[in-house]
Chain A
């Protein structure tokens, strides 16, 4: 056989990540994404509202198990995501470069993403202490407050940075025991899909994180209106669209958090307050004898 035979290109198909599986969009629609490194165009799924609905079903199914997992286990799993990402740093850097990020900045962004994962992995067994309190009350009660996960969080991820923004929004939500359905950056979708592979290899139970690629304009109203979604994270959403989403979210009292103009590459953007954003504080009055 000739040693010079040209290999066929093995082009990657960028799929969705729903319930621990990698399906194509049920709608059969794709958006062509021109790679910034001159390697041609790739097809990225354009998720439909039904894909979103399926992802919510998966996320809802995962709430019970994930919210009951011990803090120690959640920390281990999130640390493992960091390990897996570290091992594939080169791939992610090249993918970010393909999305138009300069090479040095791409490598720095992957590094920062790993560091952010490590940061939040450390918080899993600490945030409850920080956010809990014992409250002084004027009756014979022991009164205390502690955080509980909100449930299913639907997130519109930051447009950029594609990977670091994704990590910075999703990870604090799952640290707090929530499950997430996230819509990736429209302009930087590739690293999101590849990040799903990292999650998949990290013992993150199926359904805890679900990643969609598609159009915000099309999906936001369904994310805001879905009765089985408990909270909404809106990053870089225009004021009008955010107001409309807040109105639709009011139907089932979704917790809505907006993250506008956050510099996700700053160390200061890693904070336990992002964990608190999707926690419900439960206060208990326990009768005590005087």
Chain B
């Protein structure tokens, strides 16, 4: 990031969002039909952008190791498959995941800052973050303090992100806005602008614990915010829709939206991720369908 001190933008001056326009634009993306070779290329790209995620109270080291095995061996029957981008776990599971992934090149992402509610004192959030980084997380997914944001206490939200960013050190920081709790696309855009100004490397829609999670209108609004931030500052910020994206067709529509909003530069796992758990198997089933002509069954794909 730039050496300049991050400054909270005046959110009252953030351009309002044309909700109807956003929905119409999204409907266009949804009507795209992508076939044959383009479909296979798109599916492989989507696969390489997945943050394979397990964020359950019932997570055990065994389950995390199993997920890491899945990340490295998605579907052995198919040659030359890309791996997923990262495995996303709770801080207590980071060291387990780090050991299990070894030198596979797959990153460990950890949620932090009292995920998913974010309702904890700043000192606890910072300890949470440092612990995850020390345990080997290369990416931190933090949640913003929605309570403070909705109360209009933007300084608190902003300062927290700045502090967590500092605690991350070299780790990439993804800032979860939890758009399902923000209410309107205007607030989604404001929160995006705030997070990017505070130094987010990625902005992310949701924790996956609240419905609605990622939707295309919300993601498009955030992509627009990323574009405007880029044009203004020259700083590239990544995007991660998370939660609720479980089928290949939707994933392809997200990629169309990404390409036509931010362009080819963002079309890599470095700048775009899907936070998902069941999407990987659906993409694999579609790839197998393209290869064999047969519709597939989950019986023949590993559970994660």
Interface size on A, residues (CB 8 A): 10
**A56 near B295: Cβ-Cβ < 8 Å:** yes
Query: Is B1 part of the binding interface, using a Cβ–Cβ cutoff of 8 Å?
Result: no
Cross-chain contact B296 with A227 (CB below 8 angstroms): yes
A226 shortest CB reach to chain B, Å? 5
Minimum CB–CB distance from A180 to chain B (whole Å) comes to 17
B294 touches A251 (CB 8 A): yes
B295 touches A225 (CB 8 A): yes
Interface centre among B293, B295, B296, B297 (most CB of A within 10 A): B295
Mask of A47-66 contacts with B, CB within 8 angstroms, 1/0: 00000010010001000000
Number of inter-chain CB pairs below 8 Å:
25
Q: Which residues of A contact B297 (CB under 8 A)?
A: 60, 226-228, 252
Contact A228 B293 (CB under 8 A): no
Any A CB within 8 A of the CB of B298: yes
A160 at the interface (CB under 8 A from B): no
| Residues of chain B contacted by A60 (CB below 8 angstroms) | 297
Q: Interface residues of B: mostly helix, strand, loop or mixed? A: loop
CA distance A222 to B297 in the complex (A): 13
Contact among A222, A228, A251 for B299, CB-based, below 8 A: A228
- What's the interface size class on B, roughly? under 10
- Hey, which chain B residues are within 8 Å of A226, CB to CB? 294-295, 297
Residues of A within 8 A of B293 (CB): 225
Q: How far is the CA of A103 from the CA of B299 in the complex (A)?
A: 48
Q: Whole-angstrom distance between the alpha carbons of A227 and B293 in the complex?
A: 11
CB distance from A55 to the nearest CB of B (A): 11
Inter-chain CA distance A225–B294, complex, in Å, is 6
**With the chains together, A228 CA to B300 CA distance in Å?**
9
**Which residue from chain B places its CB closest to the CB of A222 in the assembled complex?**
B295
B284-303 CB mask vs A (1 if < 8 Å, else 0) is 00000000011111111000
Q: Beta-carbon contacts of B265-295 to A below 8 Å, as 1s and 0s?
A: 0000000000000000000000000000111
B300 partner residues in chain A, CB cutoff 8 A? 227, 252
**A252–B297 Cα gap in the complex (Å)?**
10
Q: How far is the CB of B249 from chain A (nearest CB, A)?
A: 11
Instruction: Tell me, in angstroms, the Cα distance from A62 to B295 when the chains sit together.
Output: 18
Bound Cα distance A53, B297 (Å)? 11
In the bound complex, CA of A226 to CA of B295 (Å): 5
Complex: A214 Cα to B300 Cα, angstroms:
29
A222 to B296, CA, bound (A): 11
A53 to B293, CA, bound (A): 12
Closest to A228 in B: B297
| A53–B295 touching, CB < 8 Å | yes
Q: Tell me, in angstroms, the Cα distance from A76 to B294 when the chains sit together.
A: 37
A222 to B299 CA separation, bound complex (whole angstroms): 18
Nearest opposing residue in chain A for B294, CB measure: A225
B297 nearest in chain A by CB position: A228
How many Å from the CB of B147 to the closest CB on chain A? 37
Contacts of A53 in B (CB 8 A): 295
Across-interface contacts of B299 in A (CB, < 8 A): 227-228, 252
Alpha-carbon separation in the docked complex, A226 to B296 (Å): 6
- Whole-angstrom CA separation of A227 from B288 in the bound complex: 11
Closest chain-A Cβ to B297's Cβ sits at a distance in Å of 4
A-side contacts of B296, CB under 8 Å: 227-228
3 closest residue pairs by CB, A with B: A228-B297, A227-B297, A226-B295
9 A/B residue pairs, CB under 8 Å, sorted by A: A222-B295, A225-B293, A225-B294, A226-B294, A227-B295, A227-B297, A228-B299, A251-B294, A252-B299
Q: List 8 other contacts, CB 8 Å, given A228-B299, A252-B299.
A: A56-B295, A225-B295, A226-B295, A227-B296, A227-B299, A227-B300, A228-B295, A252-B300
